[in-house]
């Protein structure tokens, strides 16, 4: 497995990480515990050293899962988790708002350390920007945690350029995590130039378009009742049908490369490292071993400059339908 460095603090990770949310939360019923542990350990055995979780995934169940699964090789992996949501486990979703007050950050980070069974968190992200707490205070709290030896690196998730700059001035940011894929390229306008300027790495989540770019979803697909895609505008049956042209394009390129659509979508994201001068480490998620192996195979797919120009030209002519989040969720992004 190839390795990449995120940020300027020598945070080395595998070229593809594993987004672990779906094992516990978001895409229907949670994966059975032993099956999930087996998948996580299989990922490590195949060269994955970068595992992404969050307090919100469950809540808490995903951190506990990683703590148990990764314990045998803790020193050989990088575990990233996130703070920033406020919880009330009596509610259906458990999440009741954002809270990045310094006292709360330190309290919940101690809880994450216990669940993850670690003494230090390799990469700690703010999950969403809190409009009620100055970013300088957030970064200052994480700086205190780093100085205390509880955290190694600081990250942000779905933050806008102003927030990134304010945070980075107080405590260097190793990585920004945001959605990025062939059907969501909004970060290219302002976010990626800012990251390139500041030397911050980029961790694209949903690089497979929440599964749509794999070609395994169409307008007739039904999702489990607890699958959050049921409330995503881009995943209405009408919009899935309209957006099929993106999948058709990727499928055509995949056939020419003797690869799968998922591998082309991931290879395209990784190729953007040289295009935008930002280290990119996608974190596709899966609950299935054969999909994990398929995704990791993307590291063997080479897209030439001509391939990238052809893809860009074709995608630019497509009109992607549907917002990526419901309005209320979108309001918490890019503050």
Q: DSSP assignment, residue 81? A: E
Alpha helices in 223-286 (DSSP H): 237-242, 244-257, 261-276
Q: What is the mean pLDDT of residues 265-283?
A: 97
Model confidence at 91, pLDDT cuts 50, 70, 90, reads confident
Question: What is the average per-residue pLDDT within 174-195?
Answer: 97
Q: Is the pLDDT of residue 59 over 90?
A: yes
184 band by pLDDT with thresholds 50, 70 and 90 = very high
Collapse the DSSP code of 205 into the 3-class scheme (helix H, G, I; strand E, B; otherwise coil) and give the result.
strand
Compute the residue count for the chain.
Answer: 335
State mean pLDDT over 192-213.
97
- Tokens 């945690």 identify what position? 145
Would you say residue 2 has pLDDT above 80?
yes
Look at residue 335 in the predicted model and tell me its pLDDT.
Answer: 56
Residue 70 and residue 79: Cα distance in Å, rounded? 9
Of residues 281, 280, 269, 278, the one with CA closest to residue 199: 278
CATH fold for the domain made of 3-209+269-301: TIM Barrel (3.20.20)
Which residue in 119, 126, 157 sits closest to 140, CA to CA?
126
Q: What is the mean pLDDT of residues 249-267?
A: 96
Give the pLDDT mean for 62-76: 98
Task: For residues 76-103, give the mean pLDDT.
Answer: 91
Average pLDDT over residues 157-166: 97
For residues 31-39, average pLDDT:
98
Secondary structure (3-state) at 190: coil
- Is it the case that residue 334 has pLDDT exceeding 80? no
The set of catalytic residues is 57
Give the pLDDT of residue 129. 95
**Mean pLDDT for the stretch of residues 28-38:** 96
- pLDDT value at residue 93: 72
User: What's the pLDDT score for residue 89?
Assistant: 81
Task: Provide Rg for the chain, Cα atoms.
Answer: 19
Share of the chain above pLDDT 70, in %: 99
- Domain boundaries along the sequence of the chain: 3-209+269-301
Q: Is the pLDDT of residue 213 over 80?
A: yes
Percentage of residues in the chain having pLDDT higher than 90: 92
DSSP percent split of the chain into helix, strand, coil, nearest 5: 45, 15, 35
pLDDT of amino acid 67: 98
Mean pLDDT calculated for residue range 33-38: 98
Q: pLDDT at position 90, please? A: 79
- What is the token pair recorded at 119? 């003494």
pLDDT exceeds 90 at position 146: yes
Angstrom distance (rounded) from CA 13 to CA 2: 9
pLDDT of 181 > 60? The answer is yes
Residue 176 pLDDT > 60: yes
Residue 95 pLDDT > 90? no
Task: Report residue 256's pLDDT band, with 50, 70 and 90 as the boundaries.
Answer: very high
**Per-residue pLDDT at 331:** 75
């Amino acid at each position: 497995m190839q390795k990449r460095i995120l940020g300027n603090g020598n945070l080395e990770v595998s070229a593809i990480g594993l987004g672990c949310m779906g094992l516990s939360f978001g895409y229907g019923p949670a994966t059975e515990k032993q099956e999930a542990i087996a998948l996580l350990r299989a990922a490590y055995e195949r060269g994955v050293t970068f595992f992404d979780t969050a307090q919100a995934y469950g809540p808490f169940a995903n951190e506990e899962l990683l703590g148990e699964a990764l314990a045998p090789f803790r020193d050989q992996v990088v575990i990233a988790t996130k703070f920033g949501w406020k919880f009330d486990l009596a509610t259906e979703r458990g999440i009741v708002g954002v809270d990045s007050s310094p006292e709360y950050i330190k309290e919940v980070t101690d809880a994450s350390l216990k669940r993850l069974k670690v003494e230090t968190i390799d990469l700690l992200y703010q999950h969403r920007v809190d409009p009620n707490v100055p970013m300088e205070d957030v970064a200052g709290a994480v700086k205190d945690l780093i100085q205390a030896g509880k955290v190694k690196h600081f990250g942000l998730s779905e933050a806008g350029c102003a927030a990134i700059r304010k945070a980075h001035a107080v405590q260097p940011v190793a990585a920004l995590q945001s959605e990025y894929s062939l059907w969501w390229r909004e970060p290219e306008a302002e976010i990626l130039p800012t990251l390139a300027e500041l030397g911050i790495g980029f961790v694209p989540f949903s690089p497979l378009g929440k599964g749509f770019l794999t070609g395994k979803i169409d307008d007739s697909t039904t999702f489990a009742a607890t699958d959050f895609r049921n409330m995503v505008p881009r995943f209405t049956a009408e919009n899935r049908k309209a957006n099929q042209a993106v999948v058709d394009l990727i499928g055509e390129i995949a056939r020419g490369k003797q690869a799968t659509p998922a591998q082309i979508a991931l290879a395209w994201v990784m190729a953007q490292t040289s295009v935008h001068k930002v280290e990119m480490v996608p974190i596709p998620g899966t609950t299935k071993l054969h999909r994990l192996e398929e995704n990791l195979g993307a590291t063997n797919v080479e897209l030439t400059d001509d391939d990238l120009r052809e893809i860009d030209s074709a995608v630019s002519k497509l009109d992607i339908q549907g917002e990526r989040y419901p309005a209320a969720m979108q309001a918490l992004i890019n503050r």
